[in-house]
Structure 1
Amino acid sequence: MRNEYASVPYLAPIAPLMPRIISADFTGDVIGRDYLFQSLLDGVPAPERLGDYPRSTWPGFFGQMGAVTRDVHAVRGPRFGPVAGPGFDTWSEAVIGSLNAIAADLDTVGLDAADVGKVVTAAAQHQPVLDEIDQPRMLSGDLWTVNVMLADGAPEPTITGVLDFDRTWWGDPAADWTIRMALAKPGTERDEFWRTYGSLDRSPNAVLRSRIYEARHIGAIRLERHRLGNADGVRESYSDMAVVLAGLT
């Protein structure tokens, strides 16, 4: 919550799409805990409405997603890491810090985090490659269809709002969850994302970084699946991580 609040001034390029903050308190004096009130967004959640449109209209939706993501990633930051902190001087420190935090969370809930520890070791070995990223950019952290609102009754899927920016951080745009999801199904409507967003660096070092980012995503997904009681999904995350580790080592 505090991270989302700290991110709002930096998200000015997409402010018309975001809820307004009405009131916030982080002192605990009002209700004994943090709170944040935001305005309601117009429209209907994309997961509830996108499927009602012909698939021939979906490329336009993903093109809009690419444009929103492009505007977010264009914002430059003062340091690496979560917007509300802690901050890091280098990208490798931020990535390793994030991986260590994921491993600690997995340990806390009783899940084996040994493979995440191996990713930390690999990231440390490849610090020079990670530190080729020397300009922190805004990463949404969690932006995809589930956090998008569509205009109600529009002839084509039209984005009217985006929400849930509590996981924003400063870093390499290629590490963002949105990029992972846009790449997930090549040869589909999602390809239109790249027409508006632009192209990705596909150099050998960029590919190596992307493997580290994917390992980080898998660790976070494991934790989320555990919280949702998805035991099969948790088990699958270990085999998924093994494939990524094979590419790193």
Structure 2
Amino acid sequence: MEFRTIQRPDGSFQQSVTASDVQAIARAAFGCCTVVESAVELGGGLYNSVYRIRLRATAEPVVLRVAPPAERQFTSEAHLMRNECASVPWLAPIADLMPRVLTADFTGSVIGRDWMLQSFLPGTPAPQKLGSFPKDTHGLFFRQLGEITAAVHAVAGPSFGPVAGPGHARWSQAVVASLGQIANDVEGCGLDAVDLRRASDVALAGARLLDEVGKPRLLTGDLWTVNTLLAPAPVPAICGVLDLDRTWWGDPEADWTMRMARAKQDERLSFFDAYPARTDTESCRWRRRVYELRHLGALRLERHRLGNEAGVEDSYRAVAENLAALM
């Protein structure tokens, strides 16, 4: 077997698997006579370990995604792969853009970690290709992203919170629970989480405003440029959407995608040419501040995981500014 992995420093969050692990997974999925000809680890992601696998008996490659060991996962990010699998039926409106799940194993009986095999989607990651197009065409990309997001947000669900659960009857309960989990994880890293505890208290005190959101909608969780593939074309054309493992039910304004679409006054505003106009009230703006506090808490965890100490420090300033605005 040709086997290539990404070399990372000792102690890195992402941990590669071995060639024998890949062979064991392939045989568990496709039968004991399966032969893996090559396994190449792919970069670009920051959470799961991802490999392009070629099997002797098939012409098309498949993709193997392996979750981090359970003991290395934050509580607020626990079992994201299981959440993604639970989300697949709900993501039917964009199924033509997503890889097919061929099989998944959450038993831990093969390599002691969750793993999933998916179909391979052709295309180039948008961060690598978008810049090669003329700047005046970039708005087409963000308009497509708005269409995709709108299709996902149109799906109504049974309760608030992660798609795989636990579910909550009210939106305020899901928001406060999420902020509490993030604060616990921050403290578990040895960092100060007093500001995030305060954010949770503010959200609880404003439960009435949060609960104006009465219908759970499907949120992508973290859809943005890094989760998309572009086709060979004269202008940007999205041909694939990947890694929607942070999906949850809630207020569309709480989605990471909405936050990023508003982050700069540039071509990304074309997103809203395709996304239905939403009422912008004082209550909406207050809720967006609460959602930003949640995003900042999650970013603090990710930056800590990546060793970005300056980014961690900057998150405290940003949280303080948003708390002051809320008050």
Taking structure 2 as the reference length, what is the TM-score of the superposition? 0.75
Q: How does 1:40-189 map to 2 (within 5 A)?
A: 40-152=120-232, 154-186=233-265, 188-189=266-267
Q: Residue by residue, what CA displacement relative to the aligned partner does 1:42-68 show, whole Å, maximum 9, x if unpaired?
A: 100000000001101001110000000
Q: Does 1:19 align with 2:19?
A: no
**Contact kept in structure 2, 1:174 and 1:200, CA below 8 Å:** no
CA offset digits 1:9-34 (Å, max 9, x no partner): 00000000001001111222333332
Counterpart of 1:191?
Answer: 269
How many residue pairs match? The answer is 247
Bigger strand fraction: 2
* Residue matched to 1:228: 306
| Residue aligning to 2:293 | 215
Give CA deviations for 1:162-205 in whole Å, capped at 9, x if unaligned.
Answer: 0111100000000000000000012x111110010122321010
Alpha-carbon distance between aligned partners in 2 of 1:110 and 1:31, rounded to the nearest angstrom: 30
Gaps of 5+ in 2: 1-80
Verify the 8 A CA contact 1:44 1:149 in the aligned structure 2. yes
Instruction: Provide the rounded CA distance (Å) in 2 between the counterparts of 1:213 and 1:203.
Output: 15
CA distance in structure 2 between the aligned counterparts of 1:51 and 1:118, rounded to whole angstroms:
40
Does 2:114 match 1:34? yes
Residue number in structure 1 paired with 2:5 = none
Deviations 1:100-148 (A, max 9, x none): 0100110111111100001011001100000000100000001000110
Cα distance in 2 for partners of 1:112, 1:200 equals 36
Distance 1:48 1:201 in 2: 35
Distance 2:149 2:178 in 1: 22
Name the aligned partner's letter for residue 194 of structure 1. Answer: F
Superposed structure 1 runs of 4+ greater than 6 Å apart = none
Q: Partner residue of 1:241? A: 319
Q: Give, as a single letter, the amino acid of the residue that structure 1 aligns with 2:211.
A: D
Output the amino acid matched with 2:169.
Answer: D
Larger Rg over CA atoms:
2
How far did 1:41 drift? 1.1
Structure 1 residue identity aligned to 2:298: A
Q: TM-score under structure 1 normalisation?
A: 0.98
**Structure 1 stretch displaced more, 195-204 or 161-170:** 195-204
Q: Quick check: which one's helix share is greater?
A: 1
**Residue 236 of structure 2: SS of its match in structure 1?**
coil
Q: Distance in 2 between matches of 1:61 and 1:29?
A: 42
Checking the alignment, whether the CA contact within 8 Å between 1:91 and 1:134 is kept in structure 2 is yes
- Counterpart of 1:163 in structure 2: which amino acid? L
Identity between Structure 1 and Structure 2 (%): 57
How far apart are 1:243 and its partner, in Å? 0.5
Q: Which amino acid aligns with 1:229?
A: G
Q: 1:9 aligns with which of 89, 99, 106?
A: 89
- Code of the residue aligned with 1:90 in structure 2: it is R
Alignment gaps of 5+ in structure 1: none
